[in-house]
Amino acid sequence: MSSAPTPQRSGLAVVGGGKIGEALVSGLVRRPGAAEGIVVVERSPERAAELVSRHGVRALDLAGAAAACRVLLIAVKPQDVDALLADLAPHVDTGHLVVSVAAGVPTSRVEAALPAGVPVVRVMPNTPALVDEGMSVLSAGAHAGATDLDEAEELLSAVGQVRRVPEKQQDAVTALSGSGPAYFFYLVEAMVDAGILLGLPRALAADLIVQTALGAATMLRDSGEHPVQLREAVTSPGGTTIAAIRELERHGVRAALIAAIEAAHDRSVELGRPAE
Ligand SMILES: NC(=O)C1=CN([C@@H]2O[C@H](COP(=O)(O)OP(=O)(O)OC[C@H]3O[C@@H](n4cnc5c(N)ncnc54)[C@H](O)[C@@H]3O)[C@@H](O)[C@H]2O)C=CC1
Ligand SMILES: O=C(O)[C@@H]1CCC=N1
């Protein structure tokens, strides 16, 4: 059970202003007046200064951020989480909400490092939060109640869609939507390379592929049709697309994607184990 928020605390501290920390901050500050309520805590002073000047947020140390902010969003690498929590613990109480985006790290590990009863929510966001097209997936820890989850959901819904899952699904979620943007960027890189091979200027090939990716993603989201139906509609009998699909099958691209995502899942599980 979480106690009522301390009245003078409001706003959000993002602890760890790296890639995902900045993606979330830059999405969140687009809400009018939001920057004033956002604090960053960053180990690197140069990086902190960069975030302050780019996004108009404040930089504080851990103690200052915990004194000022109700929500503490942990966005350091899984390997740095234990050291960070040890530094944070003396400044945290049950009036805080701790949100961890660290891949693999279970809420039980975060809870064990903090004073008893502090509510913890585990979230797997992704970098498209930068353009308000994020996918964030939430799970409650043992002390997080409905209002804590609602608060985390409200925060993250400012930068995209939000889903809730039982925590045991978070390693799979991490492998799909957490790492997922990288798979699409990788495919786009490869498809642009194919355009170069075929003699197109790089800029033209990139324009063709990015617009095609956007069009395909919009159809997947809006048409209500299954991906197989959409692909079949492109695949004319005796045509170009089936010639390409045969090569994708011959090279095992489907199996490679499944194996790649399984490897990401397994790595998430591994990252979740405490260091020996
Ligand atoms: N990059 C991504 O797309 C996603 C990352 N995540 C998770 O977010 C976390 C951060 O990932 P990235 O942003 O990619 O890493 P990153 O290495 O870009 O950023 C981590 C930041 O934390 C800072 N830091 C480390 N220890 C600190 C401390 N004690 N106090 C203050 N700042 C500290 C570092 O200086 C660095 O700027 C990881 O746990 C990762 O699993 C989750 C979803 C997506
Ligand atoms: O690569 C990683 O470990 C992080 C977690 C999900 C996306 N990036």
Residue 145 CA to residue 28 CA, distance in Å, equals: 23
CA–centroid distance, residue 73 to ligand 1 (Å): 11
Q: Whose CA is nearest to atom 3 of ligand 2?
A: 103
DSSP string for the chain: -PPPPPTT--SEEEE--SHHHHHHHHHHTTSTTGGGGEEEE-S-HHHHHHHHHHH--EE--HHHHHHH-SEEEE-S-HHHHHHHHHHHGGG--TT-EEEE--TT--HHHHHHHS-TT--EEEEE--GGGGGT-EEEEEEE-TT--HHHHHHHHHHHHTTEEEEE--GGGHHHHIIIIISHHHHHHHHHHHHHHHHHHTT--HHHHHHHHHHHHHHHHHHHHHS---HHHHHHHH--TTSHHHHHHHHHHHTTHHHHHHHHHHHHHHHHHHHHSPP-
CA–centroid distance, residue 98 to ligand 2 (Å): 19
Domains of the chain: 12-170 (3.40.50.720), 180-271 (1.10.3730.10)
Residues with CB under 6 A from ligand 1: 15-21, 41-44, 47, 75-78, 80, 84, 101-103, 124-127, 178
Q: Whose CA is nearest to atom 42 of ligand 1?
A: 101
Residues with CB under 6 A from ligand 2: 103, 174, 178-179
CA–centroid distance, residue 173 to ligand 2 (Å): 11
Q: Whose CA is nearest to atom 2 of ligand 1?
A: 20
Atom of ligand 2 nearest to the CA of 103: 5
Identify the nearest ligand to the CA of 78 by its number.
1
Identify the nearest ligand to the CA of 75 by its number.
1
Q: Is 77 annotated as a binding residue?
A: yes
CA–centroid distance, residue 78 to ligand 1 (Å): 8
- pLDDT of the residue at 32: 85
Q: What global pTM score does this model have?
A: 0.95
CA–centroid distance, residue 179 to ligand 2 (Å): 5
Q: Is 194 annotated as a binding residue?
A: no
Identify the nearest ligand to the CA of 85 by its number.
1
CA–centroid distance, residue 15 to ligand 1 (Å): 8
Q: Whose CA is nearest to atom 39 of ligand 1?
A: 102
Tally Cβ neighbours within 10 Å of residue 58: 19
Atom of ligand 2 nearest to the CA of 268: 3
Q: Is 78 annotated as a binding residue?
A: yes
Q: What is the pLDDT along the chain (276 residues), one digit of tens a residue?
A: 445 544 468 899 999 999 999 999 999 999 888 999 999 999 999 999 999 999 999 999 999 999 999 999 999 999 999 999 999 999 999 999 999 999 999 999 999 999 999 999 999 999 999 999 999 999 999 999 999 999 999 999 999 999 999 999 999 999 999 999 999 999 999 999 999 999 999 999 999 999 999 999 999 999 999 999 999 999 999 999 999 999 999 999 999 999 999 999 999 999 999 877
